[in-house]
Structure 1
Amino acid sequence: MSEAEGNEKIAVDPDVYITNASLEEDNRSETTSISSSIYRGLIENGRRSPADDLQFESLEAGHAVAIVLESDTSNPLFRAPVGSSAKNILDIGTGNGLWAIDVADMFPETTVRGVDIFPPPVTWMPPNCILEVDDVLREWTWREPFDFIHLRIMLGAFTEKEWDIVYQKCYENLKPGGWIEQLELDAHLEADDDSVPGDSMAASWGDVTFGCAERSGRRIDTLNTMSSSIERAGFFDLKEKISKWPIGAWPKDKQLKEAGLINYHMWSAGLEGWGMWLLTKFGTPNPWSPEQVQAYVGKIRTELKNPKVHAYQRARRVWARKPLD
């Protein structure tokens, strides 16, 4: 089953007034300028470590976008029909731990584990939330099987073979009838009009980074491959939701406008980190210098903060369950 929001055109706000300067200022002053109360809450609630860098800021923004775009549902954190009776939930690639922390808040009787290869920069978490540093490609040592396993925005985390290993481990460590859910984004930027022309820096980003990722052996087309990979691992009853994540405050719809403003911050904070390793290691015709990467992403930022550019990226959310027998 597919919920195909991804085919609907996003209406443009004809009265959008955000200029390059004001949008840039919004992203310099997160706690005062960005309108989203959800986003402000994430960075004001004492969970952020003073040592955060731009990549963790980008993760915070991505978490907020996902919540804003699901804010009209009863549970904006996930779609799998997992109720409060779940005893154990695992968040793979937990990053800054915000999803795991929020789910632990929602289900105080559930043990929620977040795992990543880097320690998350958090200063507080609920008592039923456990954040761990581990490599999920190694043997899993958790004793209890999970009711639900969640993954999100993990482009380039694994090779194709390693992804198969991860999904198989998820299958083996879920209870019968348990659920897996994954949300991924496309690196390609699109527009429903001609505001992201093919010769723009923004339009080039997807193909440039896809090529680098291909040469690195860690492809970033997970959005397109995860459904078949999850089914190949043995899961069934697969459902998916395809949607558009706008970048900038240009949409007419209030919910999309809020999400777009936060998503611009995710891109602005994350671009250099996303591109630096790929382009300095696998850029063509030769590896790029750090200065070339900085100049490139600077041009993309300039294009994206133009209110006449109506860019978005596609997102796909997939959830499926393990058979009862």
Structure 2
Amino acid sequence: MADKIIIAVDKDLHLVTDEYDERDWSSDTTSVQSSLYQGLVEHGRKYQALKPDEYCFPADEKQFETYDAAHLVAVIADADQENPFFRSPVKPRNVLDIGTRKGTWAIDVADIFPETDVRGVDLFPPPISWVPPNCVLEVDDILQPWTYNEKFDLIHLRILACAFSPKETDKLMKQIYDNLEPGGWVEQMEIHPTIYCDDNSVPAGNILFDIGPRFDAAADKSGKPMNIIHTMRASIEKAGFVDVHERNVKWPIGPWPKDKILKELGAINLSHWLTGMEGYTMFLMTKFGDPEPWTETEVHVYNSQMRKELLNPRHHVYQRSKRVWARKPPADT
């Protein structure tokens, strides 16, 4: 990718810092400028500064806490697997994590596969102080031409709703296909904010049933859909991938399930919702709220009502997640 920026990583200690200098650690990287760390501040939240208004959610400490909670929920949901981080049947040598955020997934995969090179890329610098020797986190626009020296055998994407337009998604999937080794794998995991209830413990008309459609309406107005959980398999197949697999999981919201693992998953997912409500709603609703953009106060009031209902222990609710993994054919035809 052109003008790729790598977070300042000491080649011996592998320390990541918000300090920078003009040294060039490799031929295709430059040091991070301090403005990327400062970001853009709106409504008291910090957003990435590499491509202003290009991403709907903040890039600050509270949002990274939200992403970590979602990461833990995803790991618990696959706790029955020897490797809970991806389902693709590959012991990877070269991995790319698109939308790495804090780099948690990339770091975990680098830890369990110490012989694997893992790269994480996102639009903003992650607030971390250390990465494993086999992990690099980069700040870059993934939609620009890729200039990696080697192809990958696993490219991972997760929770990228409201990140790309349909046209950009097609472009990204083509880039992924072109930059995978023959026989390499792509894997994407997504969630959606629509809330479901199977036992009628939540009455019809409750605000909990409102947020999914509101998110979809606002995201559609932005041109970057929220509901890619329903379209990502088709996008992967359209790019030419074969041997497509799909796994659908219900994520409880709250510790209401009787099953011990689901109870833990639900408790952490509730934290994910409570810490993430403001970050997930503020940009979308103040920019693209329906029928007109909301005020900051209106967003806070709405979120307060949502939190009250989410904390009701009588409400047995959940959201859906989906994981899709597919293979690039062994040889292009």
TM-score above 0.5, yes or no: yes
Greater share of helix residues, 1 or 2? 1
* AA in 1 matched with 2:234: S
CA distance in 1, matches of 2:157, 2:202: 30
Q: Is the 8 A contact 1:247 1:261 kept in 2?
A: yes
Q: Percent identity?
A: 52
Aligned to 1:310: 316
CA distance in 2, matches of 1:156, 1:166: 14
* AA in 1 matched with 2:157: L
CA distance in 2, matches of 1:287, 1:206: 17
Deviation string, structure 1 residues 43-74 (Cα, Å, up to 9, x no partner): xxx9999x952211110000000111111111
Flag the structure with more relative contact order, 1 or 2, with Cα contacts below 8 A and sequence separation at least 6: 1
CA distance in 1, matches of 2:16, 2:163: 25
Instruction: Detail structure 1 runs of 4+ shifted over 3 Å in the superposition.
Output: 46-49
Aligned to 2:293: 287
Aligned to 1:128: 134
Helix, strand or coil at the partner of 1:184: strand
How far residue 321 of structure 1 moved from its aligned partner, in angstroms, is 0.3
Q: Is the 8 A contact 1:177 1:322 kept in 2?
A: yes
Deviation string, structure 1 residues 120-169 (Cα, Å, up to 9, x no partner): 11111101000000111001111100010000011101000000011100
Number of aligned pairs?
Answer: 277
Quickly say closer, same or farther: Cα 1:141–1:47, change in 2 above 3 A.
closer
CA distance in 2, matches of 1:195, 1:123: 44
Q: Does 1:62 align with 2:70?
A: yes
Deviation string, structure 1 residues 183-203 (Cα, Å, up to 9, x no partner): 001210001111233311111
How far residue 286 of structure 1 moved from its aligned partner, in angstroms, is 1.8
Deviation string, structure 1 residues 65-124 (Cα, Å, up to 9, x no partner): 0111111111111100111xx221000000110000000001111110000001111111
Q: List runs of 5+ in structure 2 lacking aligned partners.
A: 1-14, 19-58
Aligned to 1:191: 197
- Normalised TM-score (structure 2): 0.81
Q: Is the 8 A contact 2:61 2:127 kept in 1?
A: no
What are the equivalent positions in structure 2 for 1:102-141 lying under 5 Å apart?
102-141=108-147
CA distance in 2, matches of 1:313, 1:70: 16
Alpha-carbon RMSD: 1.7
Aligned to 2:86: 78
Helix, strand or coil at the partner of 1:188: coil
* AA in 2 matched with 1:240: E
CA distance in 2, matches of 1:79, 1:64: 16
Deviation string, structure 1 residues 5-50 (Cα, Å, up to 9, x no partner): xxxxxxxxxxxxxxxxxxxxxxxxxxxxxxxxxxxxxxxxx9999x
2:269 to 238, 263, 272: 263
Q: Does 1:169 align with 2:200?
A: no
- Normalised TM-score (structure 1): 0.83
How far residue 260 of structure 1 moved from its aligned partner, in angstroms, is 0.4
* AA in 2 matched with 1:251: P
